[in-house]
Structure 1
Amino acid sequence: MTDASDTVPATTQVQDGPRGIGGWLILPIIGLVGTIAMTGFNLYSALAQWDGIKAIIAGSNEMASSLRLPVGVSFIGGIALIGMAALCLYRLFTRAPSVPRLMTIFYIALITVSFTEMLADYRVSALTNSDPDPNNVKDLVRACVAAAIWIPYFHRSRRVANTFRSREAAVDRRIGEIF
């Protein structure tokens, strides 16, 4: 026996709760844009010192050779973070069902890159006998707090479920009605 709701396509069903890009979902979007802007600015600042980068790549002396790994890891991490944030923005605006998983991966990558950046800065500081950047710890804490807030949001929010997982949200409601 079929129910009347079985014959109605999922796209025409009325969904309970908010739908669309709005509400609290604006804050992660602003965070993604900010991540792209700040990481891009940091990469540009590093590339503005191209003579030093060339010396590190060429390994002109012992210290420059030992700076290759931290500088390379920092550069690759920055590029990867920009790419991941851009992909998340694209998927958000196309309302892809993979958004909750992608945002989880992004926040874990943000923590990883922040931690790696902090370790690389400590390594550079030890090699150059300078003080490490105190903002690295703040960035790591900020990434951890953002992940603690937004990962559960992307997996539990009704707006996210209605916007990005409409078919899955309809199934979740049906299962909820059974029990």
Structure 2
Amino acid sequence: MEPQIEEKKVDYRPLGISGLGGWLILVHIGLYLTIIMLVVQLFQYLVPSMTRETWELLTSKQSDYYHAWWGPVLIFETVYNVLFLVFSVYTLITFYRKKSIFPRLMIMFYSVSLAVGIIDYLLLLQIPMAVELEDGSLLKGIGRSVLTCAIWIPYFIKSVRVHNTFVR
């Protein structure tokens, strides 16, 4: 008879805190709110601006509201919002599946939001009517994005929970 070798069970769970709790709950809520906000924005503002009447009102040289930048700005905002909506849904799916790519997606999520906010603001500054209508909300949005990046990007880089949760 051969001597039996005792098998030891190896626990592959990460050390320390893990799971979709803690501060990640705020990220989770933020992703859902972003998706809701993007859908509302698309259907309340961007889809109506793409109707034939509104498009011609803003992009026809015979219109009092014409400016050469209206067309490119509206197309940019619509394309960005649709792509960012798809990206947000994909990011939420990777969150639930605890994929290792999730922290990088969130860093991209916050960085792209800030960059596009700045680009959109600079584009709208080219249109005098948009400058007149701007009530400071775009700059406040950029400020919130800067603060969000300053808080959440380091969190996704340094957090033990993030490192231990998103390992697949």
Q: Normalising by the residue count of structure 1, what TM-score does the alignment of the two structures yield?
A: 0.76
Deviation, structure 1 residue 42: 1.5
Report the counterpart of residue 33 of structure 2 in structure 1.
Answer: 34
Q: 5+ residue gaps in structure 1?
A: 1-6, 167-179
Deviation, structure 1 residue 14: 4.3
Given that 2:35 and 2:89 are in contact with CA atoms closer than 8 Å, whether structure 1 keeps it comes out as yes
Report the counterpart of residue 55 of structure 1 in structure 2.
Answer: 56
Deviation, structure 1 residue 111: 0.4
Report the counterpart of residue 138 of structure 2 in structure 1.
Answer: 136
Deviation, structure 1 residue 56: 6.0
Q: Does 1:78 align with 2:64?
A: no
Q: Deviations 1:35-55 (Å, cap 9, x if unpaired)?
A: 111122112112234244432
Report the counterpart of residue 17 of structure 2 in structure 1.
Answer: 18
Given that 1:74 and 1:116 are in contact with CA atoms closer than 8 Å, whether structure 2 keeps it comes out as no
Deviation, structure 1 residue 90: 0.8
Whole-angstrom distance in 2 between the partners of 1:114 and 1:51: 26
Whole-angstrom distance in 1 between the partners of 2:124 and 2:67: 14
Q: Does 1:116 align with 2:119?
A: yes
Code of the residue aligned with 1:153 in structure 2: it is Y
Q: 5+ residue gaps in structure 2?
A: 1-7
Code of the residue aligned with 1:60 in structure 2: it is S
SS in 2 for 1:105: helix
**Aligned residue pair count:** 156
Alignment counterpart, residue 148 of structure 1, candidates 144, 147, 150? 150
Given that 1:56 and 1:67 are in contact with CA atoms closer than 8 Å, whether structure 2 keeps it comes out as no
Q: Which moved more, 1:35-44 or 1:100-109?
A: 35-44
RMSD over aligned CA atoms reads 2.4
Give identity over the alignment, percent: 26
Alignment counterpart, residue 91 of structure 2, candidates 70, 88, 93? 88
SS in 1 for 2:133: coil
Given that 1:56 and 1:64 are in contact with CA atoms closer than 8 Å, whether structure 2 keeps it comes out as no
Q: Tell me: CA distance 1:37–1:13, structure 2 relative to 1, closer, same or farther (3 Å).
A: same
Given that 1:110 and 1:143 are in contact with CA atoms closer than 8 Å, whether structure 2 keeps it comes out as yes
Report the counterpart of residue 169 of structure 1 in structure 2.
Answer: none
